[in-house]
Amino acid sequence: MSLPSTHHVVLHEENGEYEVIKYTSVPTPTITTPHDIIVKNAYAGINFIEAYFRKGIYKAPLPYIFGREASGEVVAVGDAVNNLSVGDKIAYLSPGTFAQYTKIEDSHFRHIKLPANASDEDLKIYGSVFLQGLTALTFVHEAYPVQAGEYILVWAAAGGVGKFLVQLISNLGANVIALASTKEKLDIAKDLGAKYVINYKEEDVVARVKEITNGEGVAASFDSVGKVTFETSLNALKRKGTFVSYGNSSGPVTPFPLSVLTPKNVRLLRPSLNGYIETQQEWDFYSKKLLELIEQGKVKFDVSKTYDLKDYVQAAKDLEGQKTTGKLTLKIPQ
Ligand code: NDP
């Protein structure tokens, strides 16, 4: 298959706010080593991590093509690639997916094969489900193995990762205390199984948590908001509670003395999804488990809003402006 000489991508060449996001044309990648694969993307899931790369909170060489997950069709493979062929439809995790074509330089990247007759809707779902779904799934099993009967705090409960967390933790028999900024978001969390909801903009979170847990506090706080919620999460934990700090939506947590963990013997983790799906076995185990949960109807997943690739800047503004719920995805022009 001959590929066009240029393709459309969304990238940034310098760190900054929304104005550094560029929808532009660059040379289409080509196969240069025997292990290369080129995918023609159909959909690319949007994740909050793009804001960190754009702002320089996470470092990456520039220019940086945004995107961390997608679905599409394999259109070229190097001579040493024997696990994928041209024409295969796949869903995968990789940098550089806000693009018509993405080159992956290792054939053992994190991917699943989709059936040859996968529909446009299938491509949308599978290109959008893994990053947030696997974050929640691996975290409730490994960062803090949630137990039935426990009280668990979930921040940004109507967000992409949050919607998965609420369902997975509820399925494990624990009591989710969901936090969000609006009634609409709290209603979403409640519908997905949250036992208690708190509007953190209007209510005293620690006081409500103490009331709900008979003064004890929660067994764990899954906190993706970071900077502005650190203290609240800490204060809401019970003795020997676990603080899973996994995001910076409001900015990175300000450095603090370790002694803040001492009064309640708090356990603190700052995990990343990649650290739980590093081996092929881990990827196979968790990706299969996530899809089973969705296929069995135990976890609901849909795409809340689809944007055209050229409109990523609007998606970024909506996501970072706290205007969205659930999963956002980009439709890639064909
Ligand atoms: P979300 O859909 O959760 O969107 C972010 C949400 O965070 C907002 O809707 C908002 O919900 C809440 N929020 C609170 N304060 C702010 C603020 N100041 N600015 C923006 N948002 C705020 O995004 P994702 O599901 O994509 O990601 C959720 C978090 O999980 C991110 O922090 C992300 O970086 C992290 N993450 C970490 C991973 C890891 O491996 N460690 C992997 C994947 C995601 P509300 O209005 O209800 O407060």
| Distance of CA 247 from the midpoint of ligand 1 (Å) | 7
Tokens in use for 42?
A: 């159909």
Residues 6+ apart with CB under 8 A from 18: 313, 316, 317
pLDDT at 108: 85
Helices of type H across 246-311? 280-295
pLDDT interval class at 227 (50, 70, 90): very high
Q: Are 72 and 120 in contact (CB under 8 A)?
A: no
Measured in degrees and rounded to the nearest 5, phi and psi for residue 256 equal -145, 155
Provide the pLDDT for residue 119.
Answer: 98
pLDDT tens, position by position, 140-174: 999 999 999 999 999 999 999 999 999 999 999 99
Q: Give me the residue label for tokens 């036992």.
A: 195
Quick one: average pLDDT of 99-109?
94
Query: Pairing state of beta strands 37-46 and 22-27?
Result: unpaired
User: Is residue 107 scored above 70 in pLDDT?
Assistant: yes
> Looking at residue 279, what is its pLDDT?
96
Ligand 1 centre and the CA of 249: distance in Å? 5
Please report the atom of ligand 1 found closest to the CA of residue 161: 25
What are 83's two structure tokens?
């696990």
Nearest CA to ligand 1 atom 34: 247
- Cβ 247 under 6 angstroms from ligand 1: yes
The fraction of the chain above a pLDDT of 70, given in percent, is 100
Supply the pLDDT for residue 2: 87
Is 124's C-beta closer than 6 angstroms to any atom of ligand 1?
no
Nearest ligand 1 atom, CA 200: 48
How close is the Cα of 295 to the center of ligand 1, in Å? 26
Can you tell me the distance from the alpha carbon of 260 to that of 62, in angstroms, rounded to the nearest whole number?
A: 37
Read off the pLDDT of residues 278-314 as tens digits, 9 standing for 90 and up: 999 999 999 999 999 999 999 999 999 999 999 999 9
Residue nearest to atom 9 of ligand 1 (CA): 322
Closest ligand 1 atom number to CA of residue 160:
25
Ligand 1 centroid to Cα of residue 23, in Å, is 24
Q: Report the candidate in 94, 10, 17, 102 with the shortest Cα–Cα distance to residue 51.
A: 17
Helix axes 160-171, 120-138, angle to 10 degrees: 60
Instruction: List the one residue out of 303, 150, 166, 299 whose CA is nearest residue 237.
Output: 150
Of the CATH numbers 3.40.50.10490, 2.60.40.420, 3.40.10.10, 3.90.180.10, which one belongs to the domain with range 6-118+302-331? 3.90.180.10
Mean pLDDT of the chain: 98
Q: Is the pLDDT of residue 47 over 80?
A: yes
Q: Which two tokens stand for residue 100?
A: 């018509």
Q: Specify the pLDDT at position 62.
A: 97
Q: Give the atom of ligand 1 at the shortest distance from the alpha carbon of 246.
A: 41
Would you give the DSSP letter of residue 258? Answer: G
> What per-residue confidence (pLDDT) applies to 189?
98
Write the CB contacts of 253 (distance below 8 Å, at least 6 apart in sequence). Answer: 226, 227, 230, 245
* Residue 289: φ, ψ to 5°: -60, -40
> Does pLDDT of 113 surpass 80?
yes
Distance 224 CA to ligand 1 centre (A): 5
Q: Where are the alpha helices (DSSP H) in the chain?
A: 49-55, 120-138, 160-171, 183-191, 205-212, 230-236, 280-295, 312-320
Where exactly are the structural domains of the chain? 6-118+302-331, 132-274
CATH of domain 132-274: 3.40.50.720
Across the chain, the runs of DSSP E, i.e. the strands, are 6-12, 22-27, 37-46, 64-65, 69-77, 89-93, 101-104, 111-114, 151-154, 175-180, 196-199, 218-223, 237-245, 267-269, 303-308, 327-331
250 DSSP assignment: T
pLDDT for the residue 297: 97
Ligand 1 and 246: CB distance under 6 A? yes
Closest by Cα among 199, 198, 192 to 164: 192
Closest residue CA from atom 39 of ligand 1: 272
Mutate to test the pocket of ligand 1, among 52, 179, 181, 224 (most ligand atoms within 8 A of CB): 224
Which two structure tokens, joined as six digits, stand for 328?
């956002």
pLDDT in tens, 258-274: 999 999 999 999 999 99
Is 79 within 8 Å of 66 (Cβ atoms)? no
Q: Is 170 in the pocket of ligand 1 (CB under 6 A)?
A: no
Give the confidence band of 1 by pLDDT, cuts at 50, 70, 90.
low
Task: State the DSSP H helix or E strand holding residue 16, giving kind and residue range, or none if neither.
Answer: none
